[in-house]
Amino acid sequence: MNRTEKMDTVAELQKKLAGSKAIILTDFRGLKVEQMTALRQRLRQDKIAYQVVKNTLMKRAIEGSPLEKLKDYFQGPTAVAISYGEPIALAKALTEFQKTLPNLEVKVGLIEGSLTSPPEIKSLATMPPREILLAQLLGTLQAPARRMVGGILGAFQQFLFVLQARIDQMAEKEAPEPPPES
């Protein structure tokens, strides 16, 4: 690879990394070509790029960017999984694949700007999707208001029952007595 090809590769990597929300570095030693192909296909379903990179080129690509935190982890055979969408999808996909292929080793992740260890990535994979988390949060926020409205409505209903009972009582008193039967 000559100098211009290297510069083009670095520029291409910088473009790929620019819009990413999550990046996970993996060690792929021990994986067969068929297994790597299956992994790439699985990740492509979730719009995740998976690429084997030369460590020196990747280090150049991340120089001076927020991704520079990953610089020390580019040692040995390294593949980069890049997610542009929800980070949880990337963590889930890699964790699922790790169950069938224990040779796939997660080195580290950079999720929305913070370094994430392999155990944290596994715990992230067990989280429900973003939409469900938002629904749970909304339910939690609405609960006090629901209880307050329920309490007010309950008191209002009790007042209406008492009022209706009084109206019925007054109606009984005002009703004319039937004439005595002879």
CB-based contact 130:87 (threshold 8 Å): no
**Cα-based angle 169, 173, 179 (whole degrees, multiple of 5):** 135
Q: What is the pLDDT of residues 106-136, one digit of tens each?
A: 899 888 888 888 888 888 888 877 788 888 8
What is the pLDDT, as a whole number, of residue 116? 85
pLDDT in tens, 29-75: 888 888 888 888 888 888 888 888 888 888 888 888 888 888 888 88
List, as one string, the DSSP characters of 106-150: EEEEEETTEEE-HHHHHHHHTSPPHHHHHHHHHHHHHHHHHHHHH
The yes-or-no verdict on residue 182 having pLDDT over 60 is no
Q: Which residue has the tokens 């469900």?
A: 132
Q: In the predicted model, what is the mean pLDDT of residues 174-179?
A: 69
Q: What is the C-alpha to C-alpha distance for residues 106 and 85, in angstroms, rounded to an integer?
A: 19
Tens of pLDDT along 79-114?
A: 999 888 888 888 888 888 888 888 888 899 888 888
pLDDT tens, residue by residue, 2-31:
888 888 888 888 888 888 888 899 988 888
Neighbours of 127 (CB within 10 A): 13
E strand map for the chain? 22-27, 48-52, 79-83, 105-111, 114-116
Model-level pTM? 0.68
Distance CA 179, CA 168 (A): 22
